């Protein structure tokens, strides 16, 4: 058995796990950064709104957590499959990679989109503080699709 047949599948599977964490976390960093910029502007004018603003900023960070969960599951399953079989073929590695793509790509895109929604929702908090929960509903709408990506990746991982 050659190097590619032995370790190529392992490398591809671990690449999938790494992409799940890296891309979802990159999206969360971007999303929380966008929301944080809006929060900083609000807090400079009205420091009493820090708690509610912080909640709005944290919401786009969940995709990074979802990516980390998938990384943990994928990493452990890839390594277990590799050890159990004394190697891993490329086809199996590609299945692990494919299973990680929903949260990797969905997390990247949805976190950035959610950050923009959160930033816009900070305007609600600034102008109509009693209606700030309406902005959270807008953010949760985007979150729903991130959760679907998480579930898709988990279900695919457990189907392997």
Q: How far apart (Å, rounded) are the C-alpha atoms in residues 28 and 21? A: 10
List the CATH number of the domain containing 148.
Answer: 1.20.120.610
Token pair belonging to 153 = 């990746």
pLDDT class of 2 with cuts at 50, 70, 90: low
pLDDT for 127 beyond 70 = yes
**Each residue's pLDDT tens digit, 45-67:** 999 999 999 999 999 999 999 99
Domain count, the chain: 1
Residue 51: give the domain boundaries: 3-159
Provide the CB-side half-sphere exposure for 21 (13 A, CA).
12
**Each residue's pLDDT tens digit, 82-114:** 998 887 888 999 999 999 999 999 999 999 999
């Amino acid at each position: 058995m050659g190097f590619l047949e032995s370790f190529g599948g392992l490398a591809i599977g671990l690449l999938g796990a790494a992409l799940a964490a890296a891309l979802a976390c990159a999206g969360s960093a971007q999303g929380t950064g966008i929301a944080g910029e809006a929060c900083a502007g609000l807090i400079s004018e009205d420091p009493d709104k820090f708690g509610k603003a912080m909640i709005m900023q944290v919401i786009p960070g969940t995709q990074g957590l979802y990516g980390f969960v998938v990384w943990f599951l994928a990493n452990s399953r890839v390594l277990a499959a590799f050890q159990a079989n004394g190697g891993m073929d490329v086809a199996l590695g590609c299945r692990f990679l494919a299973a990680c793509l929903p949260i990797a790509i969905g997390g990247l895109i949805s976190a950035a989109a959610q950050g923009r929604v959160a930033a816009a929702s900070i305007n609600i908090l600034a102008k109509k503080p009693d209606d700030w929960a309406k902005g959270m509903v807008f953010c949760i709408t985007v979150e729903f699709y991130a959760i679907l990506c998480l579930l898709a990746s988990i279900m695919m991982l457990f189907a392997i």
